[in-house]
Amino acid sequence: MKPKENNLEQNISRLVKLTGDSNQPSSAFTNSVIDNARSLLEKSRAGRERQERVKYWKVLSWAAAILVVCGIGFAIFTSQSGRMDKIAGQFVQSAKPVSGPAATDSIKSLEPAKIMYTTEESSSKVVATKHQDVSLALQPKNEQTVTTEPAKTSVGQPNVDAVPKLLAKENQPLAFLGREGALKDVQESRTPEQKIDSVRRFRDGEASSDSFSFRKANKPAFVGTPTAFLKGEPYSYGYPMAHGGTTPPNAEPYDAMFFKNYGVNPFIDTEDDHLSTFATDVDTGSYTIVRKYLQDGFLPPEKAVRVEEFVNYFRYGYPAPKDDVFAVYAEAAPWEFGTGRKNSFLLRLGLKAKQVCEENRKPAILTFVIDVSGSMGRENRLGLVKKALRLLVEKLTEQDRIGIAIYGSRGRMVCNHTGLDEKDKILTEIELLQAGGSTYAEEGIRIGYEMAERAYREGFINRVILCSDGVANVGQTSADEILKLIKEKADKGITLSAIGFGMGNFNDVLLERLGDKGNGHYAYVDTIAEARRIFEENLTGTLQVVARDVKIQVDFNPEVVRSFRLIGYENRDVPDEKFRDDKYDGGEVGAGHSVTALYELKLWPDKKGAVATTYVRYKDAEAKTVTEFKSSIATDEFNKSFEKSSKEFRLAATVVEFAEILRKSYWAKGANLDRVLERAGQLSREFKDDPNVIELVDLVSKAKQLIKQADDKPTESEEK
């Protein structure tokens, strides 16, 4: 029995004793007492259960009350946030530039929403907000505030703090900016003048983010692509790999890099075939990708090296023609490369297009097709796209027009073609883009070409500029299938520039093919400096094509030349019989661009005379008329020795040797980078004002060290 029931029995016993009855109590008496006791116990239990039920409902009532209070509070907070957004938008529209001491006061008073500071010496107003990728806007000092509503993106939410002028749009609460991150560090350090200089240098690529104390907010779980882990080691700090896992397949330095091996051209005996025909190529993507590999501390894949793109990255000082569209230059000298070379000569052919000054450039109708899929968030590659396009927009003129299409999970038009009188709107639409979703490249490119076709104007530059990592995983994903969409438009004069971004989950194959078949070119941007080289230093050459379907055919004299091989251009081969077939696709050459090709020759001993005749055939960019001309070189024009050849010739030869060794060409057997490095060092003194030649020395040195490390590493059999 329970304790209370034990007490009941004791009380019964005591009651019996008090009655003075020494005998046992009667059963009737006992049963009566027990029944009464049980009745009392049942009432006690019911009371306790009733108390428990009351307590339970009290708890539920309090919980419901708390939920109601929280809901009311949230509704009030949301309402107030909307009002704050509206107030912030009104403030942004009415804000005036400040300078001197007033700038410091403004910084203190505007936290956390906005900082605005200028100086009398500065011609610009810098506006900075906290942003995950530290995307900053630099606008002219006297420029009117933009009030245009940003278009909603189909991928992700509008990045309202990327452009401070549109701070309070799309119902994004002001609290979205927070009180931590970049603003705090800017506010608590340096004078306004120093801050302006730091922001400008960071934006223009002249300084890293370490040069001033910006602190990135909302740091993702994976930040940046690793550049310092051992080959084969798992990613410690990199983005999640495209196909899962923690270690790149086959111990590669980057995951999901797509290249195609086009092979290596063989030597051809002139008695079998004395003609060599190829389409011109002014692409440079291969060189900059390989440069990125080496700068990150890795040897590039052999198939990533396309020799002609290495050669055409450099400038050789060919004089531009004054009256004609092209001028041809030829130079040859004895060449020693690797082992087993006898009676070997190197022939350099250069094709230089006419110059067009910036003032005489035709107006352009440009359609930006921007990849905003999730992979473009890696390494902040979409941020680099924005900076590159901003450079391009700043170099355009009032006659130019710009349209924007994007694609992620789906493609769509963001901004119809508009003039630079609405430049702020264009820049804003670019800055508001965020990465997310899968990659429907086919739809995005199709929409871009449809926009370009609607905006097409005869006599203008009609160009689609694709900015992407080249990966497509929705719809048609192969180059051949996507090219079917653009061939018809390309034939009508709408050309394509394919600009690649990113390392890891990058498709070089697709972008190179699109640039080729889209009657444009392919370049790879790894830094803001490279973007400036493409879009600022040579914008006219990038945009304005002066000749289409350019093909070159070299006819070697079998009486003098025993055999020859074209170095590179494996994927630009043209059947000899198609040289004069004007329906067969060639290459496009922009204003001021040059094309360089190199041949290795074996000559018959003691034979003299004409060595080769070079034929160039092209279509005029406007009239579509076909022109063909020729140029020849003979043995008496050859340099007596390699050392006595021009510095430009020696530069081209050095670059060729570097590329041949990196791609492990059969014809580079016995060659090493010691001699290449020595020549590059000498050339850097001769080209002391050319940063590309100076950089070449560093790249050759890095490659040499990496090759040595690879050679010194024990093999698996040796480790066992």
Instruction: Work out whether strand 401-407 and strand 364-371 pair parallel, antiparallel, or are unpaired.
Output: parallel
CB 372 within 8 A of CB 443: no
Q: Is the pLDDT of residue 702 over 50?
A: yes
Q: Is the pLDDT of residue 129 over 90?
A: no
Query: In this predicted model, what pLDDT tens digit does every residue of 496-514 receive, in sequence order?
Result: 899 999 988 899 998 998 8
> Which one, of 313, 315, 269, lies nearest residue 289 by Cα?
313
What confidence tier does 132 reach under pLDDT thresholds 50, 70, 90? Answer: very low
What confidence tier does 180 reach under pLDDT thresholds 50, 70, 90? Answer: very low
How far is the C-alpha of 385 from the C-alpha of 392, rounded, in Å? Answer: 11
pTM for this one? Answer: 0.69
Domain 362-543 has CATH 3.40.50.410: yes
> What three-state secondary structure class fits 201?
helix
Q: Is the pLDDT of residue 260 over 70?
A: yes
Residue type, 165: K
Query: In this predicted model, what pLDDT tens digit does every residue of 282-315 receive, in sequence order?
Result: 899 999 999 999 999 999 999 999 999 999 999 9
Instruction: Work out whether strand 521-524 and strand 495-500 pair parallel, antiparallel, or are unpaired.
Output: parallel
Structure tokens at 420: 């630079």
- Residue 219 main-chain phi, psi, to 5 deg: -60, 125
Q: In the chain, what's the furthest Cα-to-Cα distance?
A: 154
What confidence tier does 482 reach under pLDDT thresholds 50, 70, 90? Answer: confident
pLDDT at 628: 97
Higher-scoring residue by pLDDT: 719, 184 = 719
pLDDT at 493: 82
What is the secondary structure of 58-95 as a DSSP string? HHHHHHHHHHHHHHHHHHHHHHHHHHHHHHHHHHHHH-
* Average pLDDT value for residue range 89-98: 40
pLDDT at 250: 65
% of the chain surpassing 90 pLDDT:
50
DSSP conformational letter for 349: E
What confidence tier does 157 reach under pLDDT thresholds 50, 70, 90? Answer: very low
How far is the C-alpha of 386 from the C-alpha of 78, rounded, in Å? Answer: 32
* Average pLDDT value for residue range 332-356: 92
Q: Is the pLDDT of residue 440 over 80?
A: yes
Structure tokens at 84: 């704050």
What confidence tier does 141 reach under pLDDT thresholds 50, 70, 90? Answer: very low
> Which one, of 337, 330, 182, lies nearest residue 639 by Cα?
330
Q: What is the mean pLDDT of the chain?
A: 76
What confidence tier does 637 reach under pLDDT thresholds 50, 70, 90? Answer: very high
> Which one, of 440, 407, 451, lies nearest residue 154 by Cα?
407
Question: How many CA atoms, within 13 angstroms, populate the side-chain half-sphere of residue 175?
Answer: 7
Q: Is the pLDDT of residue 616 over 60?
A: yes
Q: Is the pLDDT of residue 649 over 90?
A: yes
Q: Is the pLDDT of residue 144 over 90?
A: no
Domain definitions of the chain by residue range: 3-84, 95-211, 268-318+351-356+545-553+583-712, 362-543
What confidence tier does 47 reach under pLDDT thresholds 50, 70, 90? Answer: low
Higher-scoring residue by pLDDT: 242, 540 = 540
Query: In this predicted model, what pLDDT tens digit does every residue of 515-570 receive, in sequence order?
Result: 888 888 899 999 999 999 998 888 888 899 999 999 999 999 999 999 999 999 99
pLDDT at 104: 39
* Average pLDDT value for residue range 342-370: 94
What is the secondary structure of 516-560 as a DSSP string? HHTTSEEEE--SHHHHHIIIIITHHHHH-EEEEEEEEEEEE-TTT
Residue 81: CB atoms within 10 A of its CB come to 17
Residues 6+ apart with CB under 8 A from 313: 284, 287, 288, 655, 692
CB 500 within 8 A of CB 525: yes
How far is the C-alpha of 497 from the C-alpha of 495, rounded, in Å? Answer: 7
Higher-scoring residue by pLDDT: 700, 710 = 700
pLDDT at 553: 98
Task: Name the β-bridge partners of 496.
Answer: 464
Higher-scoring residue by pLDDT: 377, 646 = 646
Query: In this predicted model, what pLDDT tens digit does every residue of 536-549 receive, in sequence order?
Result: 888 888 899 999 99
Q: Is the pLDDT of residue 651 over 70?
A: yes
Residues in the chain: 720
pLDDT at 103: 39
What confidence tier does 245 reach under pLDDT thresholds 50, 70, 90? Answer: low
Which range has the worst mean pLDDT, 167-181, 221-235, 380-394?
A: 167-181
pLDDT at 220: 32
Highest mean pLDDT among 29-33, 154-158, 586-590: 586-590
pLDDT at 137: 34
Q: Is the pLDDT of residue 118 over 60?
A: no
Query: In this predicted model, what pLDDT tens digit does every residue of 50-83 receive, in sequence order?
Result: 566 656 566 667 777 777 667 766 665 555 544 4
pLDDT at 110: 34
* Average pLDDT value for residue range 351-379: 92
> Which one, of 589, 515, 597, lies nearest residue 550 by Cα?
589
pLDDT at 145: 35
pLDDT at 208: 41
pLDDT at 225: 37
> What three-state secondary structure class fits 562?
strand
> Which one, of 664, 582, 657, 590, lies nearest residue 621 by Cα?
590
What confidence tier does 472 reach under pLDDT thresholds 50, 70, 90? Answer: confident
Higher-scoring residue by pLDDT: 66, 646 = 646
pLDDT at 194: 52
CB 112 within 8 A of CB 183: yes
* Average pLDDT value for residue range 22-45: 57
Higher-scoring residue by pLDDT: 715, 115 = 715
Rounded to 5°, the CA angle 331-336-339 comes to 150
Q: Is the pLDDT of residue 329 over 70?
A: yes
* Average pLDDT value for residue range 138-149: 36
Residue 49: CB atoms within 10 A of its CB come to 10
What confidence tier does 320 reach under pLDDT thresholds 50, 70, 90? Answer: very high
pLDDT at 439: 87
